[in-house]
Amino acid sequence: MTSLTPSTAKRESAKSSTPSLLDKLASVLPKGYKFVVHHLSTPPTKTEPLCSAPPGERPDKTFAEKHFLAVSIDVKDQVASTKPALPTTESKTKRVQAFAIEVFIFTTAFQTTFFVSKADSTGYLQLLGLPKGTPSPIREVCSTFLAYLLEHRYRKNTQAVINLFARAQGQYLYPGSVDNKGKHVLDDWGLVRWWCRVLNPLLETHKQDLWERAKGYLIVPGLEQSEMRAMIPRTSRSAKNWAIDQPLERISHYTDEFDWVPPRCLIPKYPDDPKCRFRDELDEEASKWKENMGTWKSVKTLAQFWDMMAFRQECSSGRLTGFVWLVFDPPGKAKQSQDAQSTQTTELATPNASFSASNVGSFSASFESMPDTLPPSTPPRRRVDLSSRTPQASPLKLNLEASVSSTPSKKNFDPTEEKKKKKKKLTGKIIPRAPRVKTEQRSKLIKRPTRTAYYYWPEQGRGEKVVDDNDFKRIGEVLLHLDFSTLDKATSSTRRWIGEAGMGSKWGQEVIGKRSVLGQSVTNGTGGTGTANVLGVVKKKGSISAGDGAADGNGTPHQPAVNVMSSNLVKRKRKDSKVGDGPTPPGTEGAPKINVLGAVKKKKADPGQ
């Protein structure tokens, strides 16, 4: 466990006073409705690096942390009573999962990446009977959960990236839920728009003291820029916060250290990612020599990679796949990138005698004669001040190397001296060792350091249950083998999954929504329900309001229960007299009126025809 400095302890106490996940979820869920939250997470575990290192460089040490958030609701079930004396029905509740989201967190010494792996719903959220006009709880919970993880994984001078790909599918996490008629499955266009609306609040409400700049990026292979821009939410700051581009070169720390980085070293390897599958195919077709050089056989640049993605099966034939990034830069990151660009420009602008006018012809001739089969090699590191960055080696490793270097080495070491030493013979009475009785279950998961040079794992940002990576995969596999096609099957599947994930213990936290719901009925002073006056909101000049009616004998005007448009507000168009219209015959004033079809007037034919 690392020791805390006074500034770090002050920051930890400030973060402990921040609202918990349940408080944040209660502020966005509809008021008066109960939800049950199950939050599962794993500790940071060493994993394979997301991006390949350039030739001659060591890959980044990477840790992975997984989170799974499931939200359930209680649905009333009317069960007929079996007692003859009580013919009424008893109201029981069934718990069923409504939606869930899975997020992977990859951390290095330079960056924290939040990858939204999967998100799905069962379609049973409509059984709550939310009023019309209520914001979608699924969208609000996903946005709040990502903002919560982003806040509690903040590290100083470290960039944060939220990345996902949107591809429409009938079901991701809940098997059989596509057969539920209440589930609304979005198409490709609608799903990309939906995720942009989910992530847009994170750009507009980010903390200025933590992040200097926040930018969203969207790219859909195969679409024009105007079509992709139509998917971005239309707000006052959307033009500034969003860009139709990809930020792979910007979020890679290799581009700050080298003048040129191979495209293969910029594409991350996420699980079940379309661009990762294309990257693996390019690695297979390239030779081992080209793979070591960091280049491919057919694709040479990053722009060409995205152009080829438009012809993939997942991005063509009527299918669309949207890739979304949110990049949060810490203070000083923008200035550092500008200094690196100015350094590169100064080096290119340095005068040199070899670029004189007399040598241009010979230089161009020799350059054209060079074979085009050799790929460009990675140049040496760019001389940029990287003192503000987190060191690549851990402090423990640095201390160990320093102690080893300070230890005097033995001279004239003879390996036969150890063999000459005789082993000490054990003598005396043999005393058996008493066995250790295991009285409680000890977990070594929570005994890991909270903060290292590669990750930050605060106690408040963990799940309700912390399991290892193998148990997390097992719990995910259990969910994928259940059935959510009907309500009865979904309730039994929910009960089984909660029992398997909890391993026999009761878990789950209840949340009561606190957000006021629009569209609820408003009661007037007499206890009745009033009707919203829509037509009487705006009065035209010189017109009579809809509530003004005839007065009774006492001079008190009648107040209708429902606001009805008065007849003098509607002007009918004057019609010409038709055949059959005339004065009412005497004695027929009280008779009911009957609509009689009058004579039909034929149009006179033109004599010239």
Q: Give the catalytic positions in this structure.
A: 273
Q: At what angle do helices 302-309 and 274-285 cross, to 10 degrees?
A: 110
Torsion of CA 169, 129, 509, 93, to 10 degrees: -110
Residue 563 tokens read as 């606001």
Q: How far is CA 348 from CA 250, 258, 345, in A?
A: 21, 14, 5
Query: In sequence order, what DSSP letters do the residues of 175-190 get, joined into one string?
Result: TTGGG-TT-----HHH
- Residues facing 326 on adjacent strands: 162, 216
Query: In sequence order, what DSSP letters do the residues of 244-258 get, joined into one string?
Result: SS--HHHH-THHHH-
The dihedral region occupied by 56, where left means phi > 0, alpha psi between -120 and 50, and beta the remainder, is left
What is the distance in angstroms between the CA of the first residue and the CA of the last residue of the chain? 104
C-alpha 376/C-alpha 262 separation (Å) is 9
C-alpha 117/C-alpha 551 separation (Å) is 68
Torsion of CA 13, 18, 22, 23, to 10 degrees: 140
Selection from 409, 430, 212 nearest residue 327 by Cα? 212
Phi and psi at 129, nearest 5°, equal 70, 45
C-alpha 304/C-alpha 394 separation (Å) is 38
